[in-house]
Amino acid sequence: DSGVTQTPKHLITATGQRVTLRCSPRSGDLSVYWYQQSLDQGLQFLIQYYNGEERAKGNILERFSAQQFPDLHSELNLSSLELGDSALYFCASSPRLDRDRTGANVLTFGAGSRLTVL
Amino acid sequence: SQQGEEDPQALSIQEGENATMNCSYKTSINNLQWYRQNSGRGLVHLILIRSNEREKHSGRLRVTLDTSKKSSSLLITASRAADTASYFCATGSTGGGNKLTFGTGTQLKVEL
């Protein structure tokens, strides 16, 4: 158990639907990252939050949105789902924004949420 | 987009042999990390090497970094069946919130 909790573990839904993935970071970690892993795209960075604020944005579609709440848990909302959105979605957390100003943040990953869009 | 590309894509060795994986990246970095992923599971951090370091060891792991060639290698010595997993390099920078950009991964299979 890494300390990062993701729910649900598995989710099967239909095209056009909307789902919410939830992440609780490791105790004490302030930063949350979302990644999407699919066979054809590999591991893609989606978005990062630090202490409730968006800090970095990656290849996140406009149909996707996320937020980090005051208790530091985060949610990733995926809407108007398409077949191509089927993937493993990982949440990761890290302690501080910039540990020593060299960008050396070590990420702790959750077990992932496997989304299947039919 | 992928910052790093691992080579080879897949590697199959016998238990006890050494496994070497290479990572090439495109832009300047401040640090490079290696992560391991068991099938369908979350990634686990293995080791971090900073841009001013050339080599680092951790147990059976040895990482090298050549910033002039924009490449890194991960050596696993005396491999075990339990080392079977995918291995990813990840590069970090100070810009953009310190996100990590992951490579394409090497699938390592260690056979008994």
Q: What is the pLDDT of residues A71-81, one digit of tens each?
A: 999 999 999 99
The reported pLDDT for the residue numbered B97 is 54
Q: Which of A48, A49, A105 to mutate to test the interface with B (most CBs of B within 10 A)?
A: A105
Q: What is the mean pLDDT of each run of 10 residues along chain B (112 residues)?
A: 77 97 90 93 94 95 96 97 96 68 93 94
Between CA A58 and CA A79 the distance in angstroms is: 18
List Cβ neighbours of A9 (8 Å cut-off, separation of 6 or more).
Answer: A111, A112, A113, A114
- Cα(B18)–Cα(B90) distance, rounded to whole angstroms? 22
Q: Which pLDDT score is estimated for B18?
A: 98
3-state SS class at A85: helix
Q: Please answer whether residues B103 and A44 qualify as being in contact, where contact means their C-beta atoms are separated by less than 8 angstroms.
A: no
> What residue type is assigned to position B86 of the chain?
S
How many C-beta neighbours within 10 Å does residue B94 have? 14
**Are the beta carbons of A59 and B104 separated by less than 8 Å?**
no
Q: Does B3 touch chain A (CB under 8 A)?
A: no
**Chain CA centroid to CA A30, Å:** 14
Q: Do B42 and A55 touch (CB under 8 A)?
A: no
Residues from A in contact with B at Cβ < 8 Å: 2, 4, 31, 33, 35, 42-43, 45, 48, 50, 55-56, 58-59, 88, 90, 92, 94, 97-98, 101-112, 114
Mean pLDDT for each 10-residue chunk of chain A (118 residues)?
A: 95 98 95 92 91 90 97 97 97 76 78 97
Buried b (16+ CB within 10 A) or exposed e, B6-38: beeeebebeeeeebbbbbbbeeebbbbbbbbbe
Among residues A61, A87, A90, A18, the alpha carbon closest in space to that of B90 is found at: A90
User: What pLDDT was estimated at residue B92?
Assistant: 79
- For residue B1, what pLDDT is reported? 46
Report pLDDT for A81: 98
Radius of gyration (C-alpha) of chain B in whole angstroms: 13
Q: How far is A88 from A71, CA to CA, in rounded Å?
A: 24
Would you tell me how many other CB atoms lie within 10 Å of the CB of residue B90? 26
Contacts of A9 in chain B (CB under 8 A): none
